[in-house]
Amino acid sequence: MNKHSLSLTAAAAAGLLSACASAPSSTHSQMGIPDAVRVPAGHRVAMETVGVGEITYECRTKATMAGAFEWVFVGPKADLNSRSGSKLGSYFGPPATWASSDGSAITGTQLAVAPGGSGNIPMQLVKANPATGTGAMTGISFVQRVATRGGIAPALPCDAGALGRKEIVKYQADYVFWKAA
């Protein structure tokens, strides 16, 4: 991990503590969330963030079909912000990593996805690995991506002439972090 992305500032730490303090202490409403990406019972919301950033795709040869090409997900890069817009951390990969401005970070394993609507990346449920560092990410058990906007593979042609070309697509999503209750 990049030391610069994990540096602690008093303002960032205060913003993170404020976001955590204002997060609901009871079970976050899962109404309207598809069953596949619902967090199991026995967990509570620890923090809610708005991820604002970009996803990189690359035109590559299709692995399953000779002579065919497709846009392949390369990785995300986003700021994790409070609802008021203060930066609390970042999301990047691969591997998918959520890093708090306080120095703690998690990676995880995707458990499920559900459609995010036309033109939007899917909603997602991720099982978190134990955190590195001590801070806001300590004890996080699940990350839920909901309210997605944008981020799908480009509509540009992906063919032999575009092979190796990378395209960056803007996106936004809510990342909800959960801990055992």
Structure tokens, 98: 């959520």
Residue pair 37/146 in contact by the 8 Å Cβ criterion: yes
Q: How far is CA 64 from the centre of its chain?
A: 28
Q: What are phi and psi of 163, to 5 degrees?
A: -50, 125
Tell me: the pLDDT tens digits for 5-55? 333 333 333 333 333 333 333 345 788 899 999 999 999 999 999 999 999
Give the residues across from 58 on adjacent strands.
72, 166
The total of structural domains in the chain comes to: 1
Q: At 24, which amino acid appears?
A: P
Report the predicted TM-score, pTM, of the whole model to 2 decimal places: 0.83
The pLDDT assigned to 63 comes to 86
Nearest by Cα to 44 from 146, 176, 137, 148: 176
Q: Print the domain residue range for 152.
A: 4-180
12-26, 97-111, 167-181: which has the minimum mean pLDDT?
A: 12-26
What are the pLDDT digits (tens) for 58-80? 999 998 888 899 999 999 999 99
> What average pLDDT is seen over the chain?
87
Given this model, what pLDDT does residue 18 score? 37
If residue 61 lies in a helix (H) or strand (E), which one and from where to where?
strand 43-61
